[in-house]
Structure 1
Amino acid sequence: MPDVTEIRIGTSGWLYPPWRGTFYPKGLVHRQELEYLSRRVNSVEINGSFYSLQRPERYRAWFEQAPEDFVFSVKGGRFITHLKQLRDAETALANFFASGVLALGNKLGPILWQLPPTLKFDAERLTTFFDLLPRNTRAASNLAKRHDEKLKGDAYTKPGTTRPIRHALEVRHPSFAAEEAVKLLKQQDIALVVADTAGKWPFVEEVTSDHVYVRLHGDVELYASGYSDEALGNWAKKIRHWHDELHKDVYVYFDNDMKVKAPGDAISLAGKLGIDMTSPDES
C-alpha cells in the first residue's frame, strides 16, 4: 500500500444518456465521455463488469483514456454474487479476472462485490469465498489462468508489477450488521461498504479494512436525489475522520445518476475536502 493515504472521489459508471448535453457538453462523442469525466474526478467505478464479462481491449482503452494518476474500482460480476450467491465461485472468479481487469495496470483500485438483499450473513460461505479472492496481481494472474470456455475472446493474465488488490463488500441484508459479520470482515481485510441508500438497505459505518469504500446512492430518493450542501459537508467530515485520524484510503462513488446529480455532487464534495481533481492537461 502507498505510504501516504489518499482520497478518491468519483461516480459509479459514466455511460448515462441523461448526462449528455447536461454534464457532458453537447456534441461530445460517446467514446470521449470517460476521457471528459476523468479530467474532473480522480476515480470512477466500472459497473458494466457487474452485468457481463468485459474484454481486455475495453479495459486497456479505459486505461489509456484516463490520466496517469487515475484509479478505477471494478464491480464484480453478478453471476458470482447474485446467481451463484458466492457458492462454487472459483472458475467464475477466474473468468472475471481473465476478462481484462489486470489490463488496468497501476490504475486498478478495489474490487467491489455487491450482494443481493436476500443473501444473509453466512460465515462459512463468506469465508470460503474470501479465501478464493486474490490479494495481489500475481495471485490474480494465477487464478485467471484457470478460466474456462465461458470466457469469450482472449484471456488477459499478465500480472505486471506485483501490486496489492483490495476488496470491498456491499451488503443489503440486516444480518450483516451483527458483530460476528464485522469481525469476519476485519479478519479477512475486506472493507464493509458504507452505503447510503435513502434508508432502503442497512447503513453500517464499521471500518473493517485498510481502506474505506463509500457508495452514495441518494439520501432522500434512491438513485435520483442530489445531496444538499449540508449533506455533503457531513460526508466531508466523515471522510476527514477516516483519512486524517484513522489513516485510511477512502474511495467514494456517487450512484445518484438518474437525474444527473452524481458528477456534480462528486466535484462539490471534492471541493469541500480541498481536493483539486482537475487533470493537468485541463488546467
Structure 2
Amino acid sequence: MTTPRGDIRIGVSGWTYGPWRGNFYPKGLVQKRELAFAASRFTSIEVNGTFYGLQRPESFTRWAQATPDDFVFAVKGSRFITHTKRLRDAEGALANFLASGVLCLGPKLGPLLWQLPPTLRFDAGLIRDFLALLPKDTEAAARLARRHDERLDSRAATSTDAKRPLRHALEIRHDSFRTPAFIDLLRAQNVALVCADTVSWPRLMDLTDDFIYCRLHGSSELYRSRYGDDDLDRWAARAAAWAAGRPMKDGDFAAPDMPAMRPRDVFMFFDNTDKLHAPDDARRLMKRLHVHGHVCDAEDAA
C-alpha cells in the first residue's frame, strides 16, 4: 500500500533573464523558447511579470500552450493591489487583475501569490477584509473578473473552462505579522502563509492551508546568494515532512498550536535570480526529493 504524499513542485521565479542565456539556456536558444525549456526542467514556475503590470489573455494562453500537460504556474498578484492601494478598496483592481487573462491558464493555474510591501504593518481588519475578497474557486474568480473597468473592455478574459479550487498565498515582510491573530485569519480563510527564506524579513512556517508555498530569496544575500548542500538538505527535509504529513518543527512559528497533520502539496520557488544560482539550486533540490522534470539532462542524472 502506497503511503499518501502531497505533490512537491519545484521551480524558479520568472524565466526571462539575460545572464541565463548561454548558461542555463543553451547558446542559440531563441527567447520565445525559453519558457518551454525551463518548463521541461522544472515542475512549476512563478510568473512575476504579473506583479509589475497587467498582462494580456493571449500571453497566458501562449504560456499554457508552451508547457507540459501536468505543469502548474503560480501567478504573482498585482503590486497595484498590494503596494499602491495597500489592500484598501481593492475589489476593482482585483477584478482587473483576474480579467487580464489569469483564467486562460486553465488547469495549469496554481496558487496566486500576494506579496505585501515591507512597510505594511499588520492590521487585523484590513487583512480580514482583503482575504475575504479573494475568490476561492475559478467560477467565483470569473464572476469577479466580469466587474472589470473600461480599461479592459477590449482585452478581458472573464470565463473559466471548469470550476476548480483557487489557492492563495500571502507573503509578509513586516515583523508585526508575527502574531497568532494573523495566523488565525489565514486559517479562517484557507490562505497559505508564504515561507520566505530571506535575510531581511520574517521567515515563518505556520501551516494555514492545505498547501505550502516557499520562496527562497537567498540564504545570506537577498536575491543573489546560492544555497549550499547543508541548506538544501534542510529544505529537502522540511518539504518531505510537509508532503508526508509529518510534524515539521525546524523553523519559526507565530502561533503556538500545530494544526492537524496531513499530507500537503508543496510549492518551492528559487528567487535568487540576480546571479545564475536559481536554476542550479532548484535542480539540486529536485534531485534530493526525487522530483523530475520532463527532461533529465546529464547533470541532473548524475
Scaled to the shorter chain, the TM-score interval is: over 0.9
State the match for 1:105 in structure 2.
106
Aligned to 2:68: 67
Residue by residue over 1:62-81, the C-alpha shift from the partner in whole angstroms, topping out at 9 and shown as x without a partner, is: 00000000000000000000
Alpha-carbon distance in 1 for matches of 2:295, 2:144: 35
Amino acid at match of 1:211: F
Q: Does 1:255 align with 2:271?
A: yes
Contact in 2 for aligned 1:5/1:243 (Cα 8 Å): yes
Runs of 5+ consecutive residues of structure 1 not aligned to the other structure: none
Structure 1 CA distance, aligned partners of 2:200 and 2:25?
30
Q: Which position in structure 2 is the counterpart of 1:268?
A: 284
CA separation in 2, counterparts of 1:270 and 1:69? 16
Q: Give the whole-Å Cα distance in 1 for the aligned partners of 2:6 and 2:232.
A: 21
Which sits farther off after the overlay, 74-83 or 127-136?
127-136
SS of the aligned residue for 1:109 comes to strand
What is the match of residue 251 of structure 2? none
Question: How far off its partner does 1:217 sit?
Answer: 0.3
What does residue range 14-25 of structure 1 map to in structure 2 within 5 Å?
14-25=15-26
| Percent identity of equivalent pairs | 53
Query: 2: distance between equivalents of 1:33 and 1:277?
Result: 15
Q: Say if 2:9 and 2:291, in contact at 8 Å, map to a contact too.
A: no
Runs of 4+ in structure 1 over 4 Å off? none
Distance in 1 (alpha carbons) for counterparts of 2:225 and 2:141: 37
**TM-score, structure 1 as length reference:** 0.96
Q: CA RMSD in A?
A: 1.5
CA drift of 1:250 comes to 0.4
How far, CA to CA, are the matches of 2:137 and 2:203 in structure 1? Answer: 29
The alignment status of 1:202 with 2:197, answered yes or no, reads no
The one-letter amino acid paired with 2:53 is: S
CA distance in 2, matches of 1:188, 1:162: 19
Partner residue in 2 for 1:236: 236
Tell me the distance in 1 between the aligned counterparts of 2:292 and 2:178: 35
Q: Is the 8 A contact 1:67 1:279 kept in 2?
A: no
Name the amino acid aligned to 1:66: T
Aligned residues: 279
The question of whether the paired residues in 1 share the 8 Å contact of 2:5 and 2:243 is answered with no
Q: CA 1:151/1:4 → structure 2, altered by over 3 Å: closer, same or farther?
A: farther
Contact 1:45 1:72 in 2 (8 A): yes
With the length of structure 2 as denominator, give the TM-score of the two structures: 0.90
Rounded Cα–Cα distance in structure 1 between residues aligned with 2:193 and 2:116: 11
Q: Render the CA deviation track for 1:208-250: whole Å, top value 9, x for unaligned.
A: 1111000000011110111011110110000011111241100
1:36 aligns with: 37
Question: What secondary structure, in the 3-state scheme, does the structure 2 residue paired with 1:168 have?
Answer: strand
